[in-house]
Amino acid sequence: MRRNLQGSVTALDELVFQLPIRIGPLEAIVILAIILLIFGPGRLPKLARSIGEAVRIFKKSSAGLLGEEEESSLKKAAEELDIDTKGKTSKELAQEIAKKVEEK
């Protein structure tokens, strides 16, 4: 595995090593040229915008899943400490859990 100057593996290197086929700079340029020929310069910005929007939606939905998981774990911890969870936000629950833990 390649390492950067500090000796750690970079995210790009991890991605490249996970792919079954390695793509170098020349291959990437050829692929981009083929995409430009297929879609044309007029449709390329629309394609890039659609891909960007899809990535944004994916990130937003995955962040929402993580938020739901965090909220459920907060509620579970609050219930274990006998804290009423009805109508309280995650922030309020976290503050009450912290107070309860400090008391013990």
Q: SS3 for the chain, per residue?
A: CCCCCCCCCCHHHHHHHHCCCCCCHHHHHHHHHHHHHHHHHHHHHHHHHHHHHHHHHHHHHHHHHHHHHHHHHHHHHHHHCCCCCCCCCHHHHHHHHHHHHHHC
Q: Choose between 29 and 71: higher pLDDT.
A: 29
Q: What is the value of pTM for the model shown?
A: 0.40
pLDDT at 16 over 70: no
65-89 pLDDT tens trace: 656 777 788 888 888 888 888 888 8
